[in-house]
Amino acid sequence: MAAVLIWISLLVGLLAGLGRTEAQQTTLHPLVGRVFVHTLDRENFLHLPELVISVPATVPITYHAHLQGHPDLPRWLRYAQRGPHQPGFLYGAPTPADRGRQVIEVTAYNRDSFDTTRHRLVLLIGDPEGPLLPYQAEFLVRSHDVEEVLPSTPAGRFLTALGGLWEPGELQLLNITSALDRGGRVPLPIEGRKEGVYIKVGSSSPFSTCLKMVASPDSQARCAQGQPPLLSCYDTLAPHFRVDWCNVLLVDKSVPEPADEVPTPGDGILEHDPFFCPPTEATAREFLTDALVTLLVPLLVALLLTLLLAYVMCCRREGRLKRDLATSDIQMVHHCTIRGNTEELRQMAASREVPRPLSTLPMFNVRTGERLPPQVDSARVPLILDQH
């Protein structure tokens, strides 16, 4: 009976585990060309059935997200988390090439107990509904970090404040990008310094006169000189959002861009151009003189140098007679005497028949004169014969 109860409990646990696996999946619907923000809230991960023991809210939690089957996120999606005690964000704007189904796997790490919890996000990317947004403007907000603008409340406050500068119409967020991802510098750790964030907004209504004046060439020239740009209306974004008006970009897509002209292949002959008149006929020219000058001049120079060197080496020799006359008689006699004695000694050494010294012969008896082979005392012979 006990064994049956054990098997039943194991089966119930297995079924519960299967049910928990299916529950760890969330389906989201991002839209092409619209900003997508998903908050990785610690409460959603801590209350998953995998964690049997409740985790306090002060436990540090970090996340790691990647595309299923890949080590990193897709290009259009980014992850941001300021600290382990704050929520994480997945944000970005999908492009038309990203339509379809994408699965994002998110792993939550408990930094105290090192427990992990996995969650899957199924992204079904589709086309947006409603009117097109051909009028797009991008603003650089220097008073916020990207994590402070991603939640819906500050983003909605920004759109509401921007409505006072734009023509009446529906404003929608198109993209949110950190200034660090656009080449910005990390600010100093001073209170009030922020990284900055780029916010891109789209609308079906044309730009207002105020926005056009901000992006005009006159305003850009004032910004280049370090002066504030021209702003003909009240800044409704201040003081909650400090916008850098010198970095406002307006894009008008209401007028379609002309298609690129396809080049037509020609016959390969250039058309008549009054500024390019190549010569039609080349005059005859003799190159014999140039060839002779190029070859004969170096040869003549080499010949003159050879003759000069031969004259110096062969025709300017002093001779033995001049040398002997310049030498004193005493030195000449001394030299001739040494030379004659040397020759005489060499002749005597070549013709001598003197017996060899006894020291060079084998051992001999002084009394009898008998020659004996040398008797070597083995005790006195060194181990190395060269050490005599």
Taking only the tens of pLDDT, the chain with its 388 residues reads 545 444 555 454 444 444 444 447 889 999 999 999 999 887 777 655 444 455 566 788 999 999 999 999 999 999 999 888 888 999 999 999 999 999 999 999 888 888 888 889 999 999 998 888 889 999 999 989 999 999 888 888 998 888 888 876 788 899 999 999 888 888 888 877 889 999 999 988 888 888 888 888 888 888 888 888 888 788 888 888 989 988 899 988 887 777 777 777 776 666 677 777 767 777 788 888 899 999 999 999 999 999 999 988 887 776 677 777 777 888 888 888 898 889 888 888 777 666 655 555 565 555 665 665 555 455 554 555 444 4
Residue ranges of the chain that CATH labels 2.60.40.10: 22-125
List Cβ neighbours of 77 (8 Å cut-off, separation of 6 or more): 36, 90, 91, 92, 94, 104
Give pTM, 2 decimals: 0.60
CB atoms closer than 10 angstroms to residue 350:
7
Provide the pLDDT for residue 16: 42
- In 3-state terms, what secondary structure has residue 294? helix
Single-letter amino acid, residue 377:
D
Closest to 229 measured CA to CA, from 247, 206, 252, 255: 247
Cis amide leading into 96 (omega within 30)? no
Rounded Cα distance, 94 and 75, in Å: 9
Provide the pLDDT for residue 13: 44
Does the structural domain 22-125 have CATH classification 2.60.40.10? yes
Residue 100: both structure tokens together: 């379809």
